[in-house]
Chain A
Amino acid sequence: QSALTQPRSVSGSPGQSVTISCTGTSSDVGGYNYVSWYQQHPGKAPKLMISDVTKRPSGVPDRFSGSKSGNTASLTISGLQAEDEADYYCCSYAVSYTWVFGGGTKLTVL
């Protein structure tokens, strides 16, 4: 149950696009289409942004999108806004009904 690998930080200017990667193995990210992404503002509980690699829950802006290629999943945020500044975590199903999170990525909006 090793944590998935995410960049520690990414940044972008308002209006730009950024992509956060999440790398695992064939036993988690690469083996299943069960990757979710969560946004967490300081001192707050996480919020679901993407499920099942690409699905966006109701209420999440369409600026947020997910994808996957091989053992790496990605979250892309287009048209960056100041309120997008937060920590982002990926999470994947692993074997035998366990789940593993990524180490988290701090997004800074310049």
Chain B
Amino acid sequence: QVQLVESGGGVVQPGTSLRLSCAASGFTFRTYVMHWVRQGPGKGLEWVAGIPYDGSNEYYADSVKGRFTISRDNSKNTLYLQMNSLRTEDTAVYYCARGTGAMVRGVLDYWGQGALVTVSS
């Protein structure tokens, strides 16, 4: 069965960095688009970043562009999110999600359980 397991969350100070990982199993990882979506405490969902199956491009929300980097290692079935210059407003649960079909459709059919990132001084 499809499984997505995020790791790497924690409590960090503003201005510092953190890297999230998402280990995928139960499907052919290298053939699927992947995304990161976050949810602030008591808030709604926010799309953060997406990457095609081959890692040939990276797409970002304006709120994280220039600070976050999405990447993938298809040999390790793992998705990453490098987060630099973290701000208090980046505090959220970060979900990795599998995209199905053409990337433009933005259909996220499987989600991980999320990793909590808290940015606080």
Contacts and interface: CB of A to CB of B under 8 A. Distances in A.
8 contacts: A46-B95, A52-B107, A91-B47, A96-B59, A97-B57, A99-B35, A101-B46, A101-B47
Interface in A33-69: 34, 36, 38, 40, 45-48, 51-52, 57
Contacts of B97: 46
A99 B47 CA distance: 6
Interface residues of B, number: 26
Contacts of A99: 35, 47, 50, 106
Interface in B62-113: 62-63, 95, 97, 103-109, 111-113
A48 B45 contact: no
B62 A91 contact: no
Q: For the side of the interface on A, what is the size category?
A: 20 to 34
A46 B111 contact: yes
Interface in A56-110: 57, 89, 91-93, 96-104
Which 5 residue pairs across A and B have the least CB separation, nearest first? A45-B111, A104-B44, A51-B107, A97-B59, A99-B47
A45 B39 CA distance: 10
Interface of A: 1, 3, 32, 34, 36, 38, 40, 45-48, 51-52, 57, 89, 91-93, 96-104
Interface of B: 35, 37, 44-47, 50, 57, 59-63, 95, 97, 103-109, 111-114
Contacts of B114: 45
A102 B37 CA distance: 13
A45 B113 contact: yes
Contacts of B61: 1, 98
Contacts of B108: 36, 38, 46, 48, 91
